[in-house]
Structure 1
Amino acid sequence: MNVTHHAGPAIKEDGYTLEPEARVLRPGAADFRFRVLGPDGEPVREYATVHDRKLHLIVARRDLTAFWHVHPVEDGGVWTVRLDLPEAGAYRVFADVAPEELGRTLTLGADVEVAGAYAPRPLPGPARTWTDGAYEIALEGEPAAGEGRALTFTVRKDGRPVDDLEPYLAAYGHLVVLRAGDLAYVHVHPDGEPGPGIGFHIELPGPGTYRLFLDFKHGGTVRTADFTVTA
């Protein structure tokens, strides 16, 4: 399943709204609670499952220098997830959900602030490789604005190609793309089975500088690789 969502800063789509319980948070670990409201203004209770979850929550600093992909639990129409946002600043949350009544997946967004003094960090420069300890990922392909393109992320460990990636949430990779400035949003899943390379088909909504965040699982651990590209 390869699902793409394009969304800017709007908090409402097709009458559905993401409503945080609090929009100003303290730094550090705390429960973040929110509701998804339907067109009638009431909390949505029935959802289809998409990639093993009824809701995927993406959290990113607005300067796109930090990223989290987490999975809240729902009780009585209220979703709760433990977030650990260590630094003050402006953040954006995106919820990918598929209300049963709507019959398709949509993306809802909201802004939250972590209290305290902060200075925005510069966007990391464009790079084609990401490293973390023994792991290295190389990005191949050229994303384009308004045109579908193939991107491949090749995973190596200790210099050797990794050919035993593990499925994570019913996929061998999750790629979230955010555009600097307006935070236009794309979330896609791989084409076919991975080798050492994880392949995606992606169409960017317009020109700009983008941050790519790739979740992958190996050795029982989920890691997130990040890249900066320009289209």
Structure 2
Amino acid sequence: MKTGLKITAFAAALAATFGTAYGVGEALDPVVAEPAPKHEKRHEPPAAGAHAAGGGHAAGGLQISEGGYTLDLETPRVAAGHRADLRFTVRDDRGRAVTEYRREHDKELHLIVASRDLLTYRHLHPTRAADGTWSIPVDLPRAGGYRVFADFTPARKGAENLTLGADLAASGSYRPQELPPAAVTAHVDGYDVELTGSLQPGRESELSLSVSRDGKPVTDLQPYLGAYGHLVALRSGDLAYLHVHPHGEPGDGTTEPGPEISFTATAPSTGRYRLFLDFKHDGVVRTAAFTVEAGEQSTPSGTSEQSTPSGTPEHSDDGHGH
């Protein structure tokens, strides 16, 4: 097989979207830069079971338009390893920019950026301009295809929470990597996070994540976006989005600040998922990542995962208030 294969990052993103596999050697030539194609809005049918009782979204983020709203990603391409402004607008069914949102978990909109191989993850909170344009600086470490998720609720009466998704390409030398194996423990910045429970397709299941440091339980987690932890699950392959929230909240008189954070979640199908837990301690937000198999009775025991620099999340709480 030819070891030098030149492809555009945008082509790589499309290939990842439709499941096309690229044959590669140990190294690839730099990606050839080409003019970005015109960004077209697509109106696709909503995913089945877009909302699940008690657990948040069962299968969101697969469509760019839903419920009369469209995610207009104005920056469909960036250069890997270089800081750039990511800009987008949410538009209503008449093409007008949405400028009023309902605040949920302290923010009007939560932005998730994840690579197609689920090794790079960003939980961001962009700034909204008066005209409805959102923007946030991003620096994606690796070339390839990414998915951008906008999680929000319009302020219009009766509007439901939505998660819209759009494709993003990062140009550069593309090197595919495999998803880490399933694990019950994740290590991040000296913290150990242990996962108990399993995702079950089509029905609610309980997930508990316990945080410790240096072998001691962390019992003084700090509130982050109105909770002691936030969990996002993405399905390997199409990156179906599942956003769940923990049981209880800080100050309710019953929820302890650690070490355990519990969730109720519903997987839309069997398959592999990547879980990302955000938690705050000593003033810093960290993210622990797990690979799980939905439908398995238990997660493999005795396995663990070490976070890598490329998978280190970004958080944009400072200086990005609304």
**Shorter-chain-normalised TM-score: which range?**
over 0.9
1:230 aligns with 2:293: yes
Counterpart of 1:147 (choices 195, 200, 203) is 203
Compare 188-197 and 145-154 and name the one that shifted more.
Answer: 188-197
Tell which deviates more after alignment, 113-122 or 208-217: 113-122
User: What does residue 153 of structure 2 align with?
Assistant: 98
In the other structure, the counterpart of 1:123 is 179
What's the TM-score once normalised by structure 1's chain length?
0.96
What does residue 284 of structure 2 align with?
221
1:188, 1:161 → 2: CA distance? 23
77, 86, 89: which one pairs with 1:35? Answer: 89
Decide which of 63, 70, 86 is 1:10's aligned counterpart.
63
Q: CA RMSD in A?
A: 1.2
Identity of aligned residues (%): 50
**Distance apart, 1:8 and its partner CA:** 4.6
**Deviations 1:177-214, CA, capped at 9 Å, x for gaps:** 00001111100111022431000011101111000000
- How much does 1:119 deviate? 2.1
CA deviation digits over 1:28-51, x for unaligned, max 9?
A: 211100000111111001111010
Structure 2 counterpart of 1:182: 238
Runs of 4+ in 1 over 6 A off after TM superposition: none
CA contact (8 A) 1:210 1:228 kept: yes
1:205 aligns with 2:205: no
Assess if the C-alpha contact under 8 Å between 2:188 and 2:286 holds in 1: no
User: Aligned AA for 2:281?
Assistant: H
The higher radius of gyration belongs to 2
What residue in structure 2 maps to residue 60 of structure 1?
Answer: 114
Looking at secondary structure, tell me which structure has more strand per residue. Answer: 1
Alpha-carbon offset, residue 132 of structure 1: 2.2
The residue number in structure 1 matching 2:139 is 84
2:85 equivalent to 1:22: no
| In 2, Cα distance between equivalents of 1:177 and 1:34 | 23
Deviation at 1:147, TM superposition (A): 1.3
- Alpha-carbon separation, structure 2, partners of 1:181 and 1:132: 25
Counterpart residue type for residue 284 of structure 2: T
TM-aligned CA deviation for residue 88 of structure 1: 1.1
Cα drift, residue 105 of structure 1? 1.1
Q: Which of 75, 80, 104 is equivalent to 1:50?
A: 104
Q: Distance in 2 between matches of 1:42 and 1:133?
A: 43
With 19-28 and 201-210 compared, the bigger mean Cα shift is at 19-28
Q: Secondary structure at the match of 1:85?
A: coil
Whole-angstrom CA distance in 2 between matches of 1:126 and 1:199 = 19
Tell me how far apart the structure 1 counterparts of residues 231 and 189 of structure 2 sit (CA, whole Å). Answer: 21
- In structure 2, give the amino acid aligned to 1:99: P
Q: Do the aligned partners of 1:60 and 1:68 also contact (CA within 8 Å) in 2?
A: yes
Q: Indicate if the aligned counterparts of 1:29 and 1:86 stay in contact, CA closer than 8 A.
A: no
Amino acid aligned to 1:97: F
CA gap 1:154/1:184 in 2 versus in 1, 3 angstroms = same
Q: What does the per-residue CA deviation read over 1:102-121, in whole Å, with 9 as the maximum and x for residues that have no partner?
A: 52211110001011230221
What residue identity is the alignment partner of 2:76? R
Deviation digits for residues 148-186 of structure 1 (CA, Å, limit 9, x no counterpart): 111100000110001100010111111000000111110
For 2:90 and 2:211, the matched residues in 1 are separated by 36
TM-score (norm 2): 0.70
Identify the range of structure 1 (57-66 vs 16-25) with the bigger mean alpha-carbon deviation.
16-25
Check conservation: 1:212, 1:226, Cα contact below 8 A.
yes
Unaligned residue ranges in structure 1 (runs of 5+):
none
Q: Following TM superposition, by how much is the alpha carbon of 1:22 offset from its aligned partner in structure 2, in angstroms?
A: 2.0
